[in-house]
Amino acid sequence: MITKRLILCGFGNVGRAFANLIHERRNDLKKRYGLSLELVAIADIDGAVHCNNEPIPIDTIMAHVEKGGTVETMEKIGRPGMSGIDALTRIEADVLIEATPTNLRDGEPGRSHIMTALDKGLNIVTANKGPLVLYYKEILDLAKTKGCRISMSAATAAALPTLDVGRLCLAGADILSIEGILNGTTNYILTRMREEKCTYDTALKEAQEMGIAETDPTLDVEGYDTRNKLVLITNSLMDQTFGLGDVEVKGITGVRLDDIDEASKKGKVLKLVGTASISDGQISLKVEPKALEMEHPLATVNYSEKGISYLTDTMGQVTVTGGKSSPVGAAAALLKDLIHLTLMAS
Ligand code: HSE
């Protein structure tokens, strides 16, 4: 049996779904993978919960937060004021699960969590895009120096496999272009507007209620979440170091029902698409609403599902679709990375 001790930073929708998932599946994970996951600390905004290096009782904590409690107010084991950095510094663990919200100003607090954890030799499994898009090279360099791994499926469209397909299934092929519907919230809004003539505001509210919109939904609707994922996917698979300023971005805030109807009349469908294309040896990145022909492999990706289509030199076009955005889907992507991290290392 391999035991992995985890520190979870961030206890919003995704962090909670992750804690629930590893608790519910604990026996299955032991049986199928010989993997015992022990959560030794959770750090959130106002404090943490830990139990002096012992695994913390996930079911009791979940029951407490479901009644409106917070981790630091847990009886006996709650630590008001204890930060993620404190937890990472004081408690012994193997892996940091980073699930704090994406912050595109300075990447905090996720950046400090990741750097502190790497310094201590922990592997990183992250759902947070901010630190990765802002400090990609710095983080990867430190991980290399420390011999640690960074897994980011949950930050690169989560339940939709993007990096795993690119790295494993397309190994040896050259990727010539990437097109992706990488954001469930905007795809949900555009589909609801098209299929049910729902208003933009109502559809956005629904996406927020489903827990799939970012904490700051501007990131979704202005196209920034798609841009972030496109940058990470392109950097990882095409060995680039693009930053946020390298992408031309247009979101869906200007899209009206008329635009959607206009596309429909021409037999097309409007989607928010992120594209990495090569022209004269130069890769360029773009995010924009595009009217896709119905034959396009991403045209039928609807509601909160997503899709990615790779054009390769030797394998032709390879498209993966599905992988709905949801807190459980993001948690499942964190778990998948953890399992891969463990099995590949053993
Ligand atoms: N807000 C994102 C989406 C989920 O709607 O797909 C997290 O990346």
Quick check: 300 pLDDT over 60? yes
Residue type, position 151, single letter: S
Ligand 1 center from residue 327 Cα (angstroms): 9
* Residue pLDDT, tens place only, 62-76: 999 999 999 999 999
Check if 213 has its Cβ closer than 6 Å to any atom of ligand 1.
yes
For residue 187, which of 215, 155, 151, 223 has the smallest C-alpha distance? 223
The per-residue pLDDT for 335 is 98
Quickly count: other Cβ atoms within 10 Å of residue 312's Cβ: 17
Q: For residue 14, what pLDDT band results from cuts at 50, 70 and 90?
A: very high
Q: How far is the CA of 164 from the centre of ligand 1 (A)?
A: 18
Residue 253 sits in the same domain as residue 331: no
Ligand 1 atom closest to the Cα of residue 306 is 6
Whether 344 and 33 have beta carbons less than 8 Å apart is answered as no
Ligand 1 near 305 CB (within 6 A): no
pLDDT reading at 267 higher than 90: yes
Give the separation between CA 119 and CA 113, rounded to whole angstroms.
Answer: 10
303-308 average pLDDT score: 97
Answer whether residue 346 shows pLDDT above 90.
Answer: no
* Cα separation, 338 vs 333, whole angstroms: 9
pLDDT digits (tens, 9 = 90+) for 110-120: 999 999 999 99
At 216 the pLDDT is 87
The mean per-residue pLDDT over the stretch 261-284 comes to 96
268 and 191 inside one domain: yes
Looking at the fold, whether 255 and 188 belong to one and the same domain comes out as yes
| For the CA of 214, the nearest atom of ligand 1 | 1
Q: How far is the CA of 92 from the centre of ligand 1 (A)?
A: 31
CATH number at residue 53: 3.40.50.720
Question: The domain spanning residue 202 has which CATH number?
Answer: 3.30.360.10
How far is it, in rounded angstroms, from Cα 281 to Cα 299?
A: 28
Q: For position 135, what pLDDT does the model report?
A: 96
Are 134 and 198 in a shared domain? no
- Provide the residue type at 168 as one letter: L
User: Percentage of the chain with pLDDT > 90?
Assistant: 97
Which is the closest atom of ligand 1 to the Cα of 187?
Answer: 5
Please indicate whether residue 212, judged by its CB atom, sits closer than 6 Å to ligand 1: yes
pTM over 0.85: yes
Tell me the per-residue pLDDT of 145-199, one tens digit each, with 9 for 90 and over.
Answer: 999 999 999 999 999 999 999 999 999 999 999 999 999 999 999 999 999 999 9
Q: Active-site positions?
A: 229
Residue 214 C-alpha to ligand 1 middle, in angstroms?
6
Same domain, 135 and 168: no
Instruction: State phi, psi for 26 to the nearest 5 degrees.
Output: -60, -40
- 285-297 residue pLDDT tens: 999 999 999 999 9
Hey, what long-range contacts does 74-83 have (CB within 8 A, 24 or more apart)?
A: 74/49, 77/49, 77/50, 77/51, 78/47, 78/48, 78/49, 79/47, 79/48, 79/49, 79/50, 80/46, 80/47, 81/46, 81/47, 82/43, 82/47, 82/48, 82/50, 83/43, 83/48, 83/109
Is the pLDDT assigned to residue 345 strictly greater than 80?
no
Q: Is the pLDDT of residue 223 over 80?
A: yes
Question: How far apart, in Å, do the first and last CA atoms of the chain sit?
Answer: 11
| 294: number of Cβ within 10 Å | 9
In this prediction, residues 244-269 reach a mean pLDDT of 96
What separation in Å is there between the alpha carbon of 220 and the centre of ligand 1? 7
Ligand 1 mutation target, pool 325, 326, 328, 334, most atoms within 8 A of CB: 325
Kindly state the greatest CA–CA separation across the chain: 64
DSSP character string of 226-253:
HHHHHHHHHHHHHT----GGGEEE--ST
Total domains in the chain come to: 2
CB count, 10 Å around CB of 343? 12
Atom of ligand 1 nearest to the CA of 325: 6
Ligand 1, from 128, 187, 225: best to mutate by most atoms within 8 Å of Cβ? Answer: 225
DSSP 8-state secondary structure symbol assigned to residue 331: H
Tell me the pLDDT of the chain averaged across its residues.
96
Tokens of 163: 């990096």
* Same-domain check for residues 108 and 175: no
Number of residues that this document lists for the chain: 346
Range of the domain at 212: 162-322
Closest-lying ligand 1 atom to the alpha carbon of residue 217: 1
Q: Which stretch of 85-89, 277-281, 319-323 has the lowest confidence by average pLDDT?
A: 277-281
Q: How many CB atoms lie within 10 A of CB 131?
A: 28
Express as a percent the part of the chain with pLDDT over 70: 99
Ligand 1 in reach of 47 Cβ (< 6 A): no
Task: Provide the β-strand partners of residue 247.
Answer: 285
Residues 155 and 166 in one domain: no
What average pLDDT does this structure show over 263-284? 96
At residue 248, φ and ψ (nearest 5 deg) are -80, 125
Question: Are 174 and 297 members of one domain?
Answer: yes
Q: What is the pLDDT of residues 306-329, one digit of tens each?
A: 999 999 999 999 999 999 999 999
CA of 147 to the centre of ligand 1 (A): 30
